């Protein structure tokens, strides 16, 4: 089965010489394998006539054309197609009463499309994009578990609750938290402190909690949660996971898209992987146990299908051995910052060249305030920071700017001389060069912001919540790029994040923040990874065990044998030495 896809937002016929048509051997032989659409002025590729030579793919100056050869048996599994030469999705996840069904895969390969179909926002067209038929969809799934579900859904007999991926859109709505939730629901979810706050004045983590509470409060038959852990600290992620699991324990159907693998492992009963090519196609696998599914994802290989879809991701059972300290880049004394209702104090510390320091702790505890003091954005109330160090800063919340991605990079001064090879290409930013920044998705905007931060020539890089909106594989790529840039440039980075897997992969040392959120915070460290993780997770009351197959961290059930044993020896994350 051969598919041809044109990324329309990357095709600019007025800026090229129609290389796709002029170099196509079938066109030159007299066939109409590629023709120009009279309405759009863009090429239309005949999949029946295309021989898959790939010349148009390589000749297109904008990399807008994709020709892919897929297994023939997938042709019968196509559930949705967005048009001629457009993205298509093969198979659907199957909701199950009393279970949390997880969906795991990279961004842009159909996870949200699958959720929109299952939630009734779209009718699966089975490839017939011009005239989708609900009757044809029901006939296609006749005799399967999906048939009964879709029949009830299309008849309006299934009540749906949906929590969107982009919770920041809530901030644009008028009204307060009480207007949206009501006082009873707000108190039930521990949000009574937010009742009188307007939605527009909430942080990302607060908006996420309000959105989840609104979805859970609905009396529905099936619940959809698209990335419920974004912007939440680890403690709240586990708490939210428990709330979502309670829905399944009540017999409800629950479907969750989640990129934090530790949370997904704790949350889901079964998982569907989605593999494919961003913007081109996505294939949903059969359901797998959550442990097996996540391990397959980390391996990057589906044995049953004989498909290699990614690079293997490995974890260390023990933290990396401490290396000899490099030159000190920055030292800071005890710092204090006092606001009207919040005070932050941090211990004295040092940052060394080539070092990546993970910064962990609850939301509203002062992590971003500390980073802003180092960046020179905020002045400490007490103490001083070496202001002679050049700083590059990526803020927690990223907003679009005018222009294309390429123009934003070219407009920067003091660019890293090898930024395209070491940063842009590994992060896939080159594929976004011609897109207007305002048209980027959340994950694309986050990737570009990280790339811009790292591309600046600086000595200290301050990166606040880089994992937000990124899929699991993108997070691993970002971790590798950050470490490589710091090592090659003899610079240092502070990385604030809530994803334990990401922090484990990116960091050589750890700063731990604790205290009472929105009242007072205290920063400690930097510590070595083992000491830092033990202090941090002891404060949270959470222990992790290691998976026997992949060595990835897995959350222990509170009070379980392993949980008790690890608490007794004081090892909350890494395996004991010796």
Q: Is the pLDDT at 276 greater than 90, yes or no? A: yes
Does residue 301 surpass a pLDDT of 70?
yes
Judgement on whether residues 347 and 447 belong to the same structural domain of the protein: yes
- What is residue 321's predicted lDDT score, i.e. its pLDDT? 59
On whether both 380 and 460 belong to a single domain, the answer is yes
Stretch 415-423: mean pLDDT: 85
Q: Could you tell me which of 275, 293, 283 has the C-alpha nearest to residue 76?
A: 283
Please state, rounded to an integer, the average pLDDT across all residues of the chain. 90
**511 and 547 part of one domain:** no
- Residue 427: which domain range? 328-528
Q: Are 269 and 373 in the same domain?
A: no
Average pLDDT over residues 273-290: 95
Query: Is the pLDDT reported for residue 575 higher than 80?
Result: no
pLDDT digits (tens, 9 = 90+) for 16-31: 999 999 999 999 999 9
Residue 318 has a pLDDT of 59
Q: Are residues 575 and 448 in the same domain?
A: no
> Confidence class of residue 333 from pLDDT cuts 50, 70 and 90?
confident
Say whether both 137 and 51 belong to one domain: no
Looking at the structure, do residues 503 and 562 belong to the same domain, yes or no? no
The angle, 0 to 180 degrees and rounded to 10, between the axes of the packed helices 472-489 and 442-455 is 10
pLDDT at residue 320, rounded to an integer: 61
Two tokens at 127?
A: 């490839």
200 occurs within a structural domain? no
Note the pLDDT tens digit of each residue in 369-380: 888 888 788 899
User: Residue 508: inside a domain, yes or no?
Assistant: yes
Residue 284: pLDDT band with limits 50, 70, 90 = very high
Residues 235 and 93 in one domain: yes
Picking from 53, 69, 85, the residue at the C-terminal end of a domain is: 69
Residue 87: its pLDDT value, please?
Answer: 96
CB 544 within 8 A of CB 500: yes
Q: Does residue 578 have a pLDDT over 60?
A: no
Query: And the tokens for 195?
Result: 């009742």
Last residue of a domain, one of 25, 46, 69: 69
Say if residue 361 is in the same domain as residue 413: yes
Structure token pair of residue 229:
């852990």
DSSP state of 176: B
Render pLDDT for 434-484 as a digit per residue (tens, 0 to 9): 889 999 988 999 999 999 999 999 999 999 999 988 988 899 899 999 999
Domain membership of residue 205 (yes or no) is no
Residue 338 lies in a domain: yes
Q: How many CB atoms lie within 10 A of CB 428?
A: 14
**Which residue reads 């020179």 in tokens?**
376
Residues 459 and 556 in one domain: no
pLDDT (mean) for 246-262: 95
Q: Are residues 252 and 384 in the same domain?
A: no
Least confident among 149-163, 168-182, 395-409, 499-513: 168-182
Identify which has the larger pLDDT, 45 or 185: 45
Place of tokens 């020539």: 457
Residue 1 has pLDDT above 60, yes or no: yes
Q: How confident is the model at residue 485 (pLDDT cuts 50, 70, 90)?
A: very high
The arithmetic mean of pLDDT across residues 215-228, rounded, is 94
% pLDDT > 90, the chain:
60
Instruction: Return the CATH number at 60.
Output: 3.30.70.20
Amino acid 503: pLDDT: 92
Here the CATH number for the domain that contains residue 155 is: 3.40.50.300
Is 464 inside any structural domain?
A: yes
Q: How far apart are CA 335 and CA 337, in angstroms?
A: 7
Our count of domains for the chain comes to 4
Report if residue 446 sits inside a domain: yes
362 and 332 part of one domain: yes
In 370-407, which positions are buried (b, 16+ CB within 10 angstroms) versus exposed (e)? Answer: bbbbbbeebebeeeebeeebebbbbbbebeeeeebbee
Average the pLDDT over 338-361 and give the result: 93
Q: What is the mean pLDDT of residues 341-359?
A: 93
Residue 468 lies in a domain: yes
Residue 100, H or E segment: strand 100-105
Q: What is the pLDDT of residues 147-166, one digit of tens each?
A: 999 999 999 999 999 998 87
pTM of the model as a whole: 0.87
SS3 282: strand
Q: Which of 40, 69, 98 is the last residue of a domain?
A: 69
pLDDT in tens, 58-99: 999 999 999 999 998 898 999 999 999 999 999 999 999 999
In a domain, 212, yes or no: no
Calpha distance 540→199 (Å, rounded): 28
């Amino acid at each position: 089965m051969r598919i041809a896809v044109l990324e329309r937002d990357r095709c600019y016929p007025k800026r090229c010489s129609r290389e796709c048509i002029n170099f196509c051997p079938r066109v030159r032989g007299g066939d109409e394998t590629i023709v120009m659409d009279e309405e759009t002025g863009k090429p239309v590729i005949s999949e029946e006539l295309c021989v898959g030579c790939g010349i148009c793919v390589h000749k297109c100056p904008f990399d807008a054309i994709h020709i892919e050869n897929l297994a023939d048996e997938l042709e019968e599994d196509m559930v949705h197609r967005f048009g001629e030469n457009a993205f298509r999705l093969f198979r659907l996840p199957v909701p199950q009463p009393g279970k949390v069904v997880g969906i795991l895969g990279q961004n842009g390969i159909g996870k949200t499309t699958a959720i929109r179909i299952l939630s009734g926002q779209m009718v699966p067209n089975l490839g017939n994009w011009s005239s989708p038929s609900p009757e044809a969809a029901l006939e296609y799934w006749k005799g399967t578990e999906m048939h009964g579900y879709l029949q009830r859904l299309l008849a309006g007999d299934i009540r749906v609750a949906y929590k969107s991926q982009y919770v920041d859109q809530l901030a644009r709505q008028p009204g307060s938290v009480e207007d949206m939730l009501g006082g009873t629901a707000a108190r039930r979810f521990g949000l009574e402190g937010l009742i009188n706050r307007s939605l527009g004045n909430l942080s990302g983590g607060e908006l996420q909690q309000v959105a989840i509470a609104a979805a859970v409060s609905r009396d529905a038959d099936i619940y959809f949660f698209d990335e419920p852990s974004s912007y939440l600290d680890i403690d709240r992620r586990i708490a939210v996971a428990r709330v979502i699991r309670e829905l399944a324990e009540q017999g409800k159907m629950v479907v969750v898209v989640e990129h934090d693998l530790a949370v997904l492992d704790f949350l889901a009963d079964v998982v569907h992987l989605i593999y494919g090519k961003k913007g081109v196609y996505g294939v949903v696998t059969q359901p797998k146990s959550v442990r097996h599914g996540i391990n397959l994802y980390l391996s990057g290989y589906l044995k049953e299908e004989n498909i290699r879809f990614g690079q293997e991701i490995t974890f260390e059972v023990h933290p990396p051995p401490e290396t000899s300290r490099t030159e000190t880049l920055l030292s800071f004394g005890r710092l204090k910052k006092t606001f009207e209702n919040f005070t932050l104090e941090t211990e004295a510390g040092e940052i060394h060249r080539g070092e990546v320091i993970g910064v962990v702790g609850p939301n509203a505890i002062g992590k971003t305030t500390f980073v802003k003091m180092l960046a020179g954005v905020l002045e400490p109330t007490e103490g001083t920071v070496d202001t002679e160090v050049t700083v590059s800063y990526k803020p927690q919340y990223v907003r679009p700017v005018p222009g294309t991605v390429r123009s934003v990079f070219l407009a920067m001064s003091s660019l890293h001389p090898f930024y395209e090879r070491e940063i842009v290409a590994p992060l896939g930013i080159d594929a976004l060069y011609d897109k207007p920044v305002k048209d980027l998705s959340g994950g694309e905007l986050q990737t570009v912001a990280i790339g811009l931060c790292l591309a600046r020539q600086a000595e200290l890089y301050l990166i606040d919540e880089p994992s937000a909106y990124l899929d699991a594989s993108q997070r691993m790529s970002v971790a590798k790029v950050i470490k490589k840039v710091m090592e090659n440039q003899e610079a240092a980075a502070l990385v604030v994040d809530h994803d334990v897997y990401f922090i484990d992969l990116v960091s050589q040392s750890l700063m731990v923040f604790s205290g009472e959120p929105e009242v007072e915070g205290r920063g400690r460290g930097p510590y070595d990874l083992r000491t830092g993780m033990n202090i941090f997770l002891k404060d949270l009351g959470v222990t992790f065990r290691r998976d026997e197959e992949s060595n990835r961290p897995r959350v222990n059930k509170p009070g379980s044998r392993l949980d008790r044993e690890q608490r007794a020896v004081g090892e909350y994350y890494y395996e004991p030495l010796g």
